Amino acid sequence: MLRVNIKLKRDNFDLVINEQFDSGITGIFGASGSGKTSLMHSVAGLATPNKGTIVINNQTVFDSVAKINLPIHKRKIGYVLQEGRLFPHMTVQENLLYGFKKNIKQQLTFNEVVELLNIKHLLNSKPKKISGGERQRTAIGRALLSSPKLLLLDEPFSALDSNLRDQILPFLIKIHNSVRIPILIVSHDLSDLLKLTNRLILIEQGKCIGHGNYHSLLASKDISNKLGADSLLNAFTMKVMKSNGETGLTVFSHKNEEQKIKVLCEQSNVKYSRNDYVKIFIRPDDIALSNIKLENITIQNQLEGVITNILEHGYSRICIVDVGFPLIVKITAESAKRLEIRKGNMVWCLFKSVAIDVAG
């Protein structure tokens, strides 16, 4: 558990935040210069707030009144910066062991971290000989081997191209499932965060302007306008029901197993087994709405649901459809008018199998 209640003065604003973070991933979202990294630096001990408190796992690491300000090495935090910053003269194994704490009960052993991050084949390599994604995984492994009570990732995708981002994502999901500690991830790209978590804190000009579940934040018009319609993403966990090797289609279901979707897992290159849990991603503008179920059509996924909210974004409309789980659908204002789309309407959500990405 992490509890932060601080005020940090900067050149042109005060960063004021009062939040509690439990185990799991929390995304810190905001534009460049909004105060995201200042928050991370305060938690890590790299910056000193003007006043307030920071508590990690019931240990006070900063208290302005009690004059407590634990140094960085005593806060038990794993902090991964944007480009990993590995020691160039050391091998991957030496970099990993640099973070290893002797005589401390390890959450993960060296071999477990190496296997979790799939870096065994890199152990004797120097950082300049491996890819950006491999360097980032090594930096994360070094942080994990310090047995942190909290893991901070500052813009972990910013130095990576889209292909390397997709490579890192499954490993972050595995870490979340393996290490039950709070993980804070900073990004100025909302879609990157949504692939990992629905729990967000929004920072703008040094202020926390919203926090909580993504769909709850989206329901607030003032906040949803700041999220940006182009950054929206459907991301949810589903269970593998069956995989067909002949067609390449994998059938996934949600918790109640009533709503099923078919996915062509070409981009993943992973063979999934029954009862595996994976993350599913669908962009809102890849989903169409219909007032009726359509027969004799190549689109294989048609989910029935009720529209619970409609948000205006210029010439677009963002519809929140409850299909057993909230699904975000982006349509034009003209389409909404033509189909008489209203809150409370029953609709069918249609999307192609190839429009879905999978990670996990």
Q: Domain boundary residue among 211, 227, 243?
A: 227
Q: Are residues 41 and 182 in the same domain?
A: yes
Q: How many residues does the chain have?
A: 360
Give the CATH number of the domain where residue 99 resides: 3.40.50.300
Q: Domain boundary residue among 169, 195, 227?
A: 227
Give the CATH number of the domain where residue 311 resides: 2.40.50.100
Q: Are residues 214 and 242 in the same domain?
A: no
Q: What local confidence, expressed as pLDDT, does residue 267 receive?
A: 55
Please measure the distance between the N-terminal and C-terminal CA atoms of the chain and give it in whole angstroms. Answer: 25
Q: Which of 237, 267, 235, 265 is nearest to 250 (CA)?
A: 265
* DSSP 8-state assignment for residue 344: T
Q: Are residues 162 and 56 in the same domain?
A: yes
Q: What is the pTM of this model?
A: 0.83
Q: What local confidence, expressed as pLDDT, does residue 175 receive?
A: 85
Query: How far is residue 185's CA from residue 182's CA, in Å, rounded to a whole number?
Result: 10
SS3 call for 1: coil
Q: Are residues 139 and 256 in the same domain?
A: no
Tell me: the pLDDT tens digits for 286-314?
999 999 999 999 998 999 999 999 988 88
Tell me: the pLDDT tens digits for 276-288?
888 889 999 999 9
Q: Are residues 197 and 175 in the same domain?
A: yes
Q: Are residues 222 and 108 in the same domain?
A: yes
Q: Are residues 223 and 239 in the same domain?
A: no
Q: Are residues 97 and 139 in the same domain?
A: yes
Report CA dihedral (204, 206, 212, 217) to the nearest 10 degrees. Answer: -20
Q: What local confidence, expressed as pLDDT, does residue 269 receive?
A: 58
Q: Domain boundary residue among 210, 227, 244?
A: 227
Domain count, the chain: 2
Residue 40 tokens, joined? 């991370």
Are 108 and 178 in contact by the 8 Å Cβ rule? The answer is: yes
Q: What local confidence, expressed as pLDDT, does residue 205 receive?
A: 82
Q: Are residues 72 and 106 in the same domain?
A: yes
Q: Are residues 223 and 259 in the same domain?
A: no
Structural domain containing residue 117: 2-227
Under-70 pLDDT residues of the chain: 10-15, 83-84, 101-106, 159-164, 229-230, 256, 266-270, 360
Query: How far is residue 151's CA from residue 143's CA, in Å, rounded to a whole number?
Result: 8
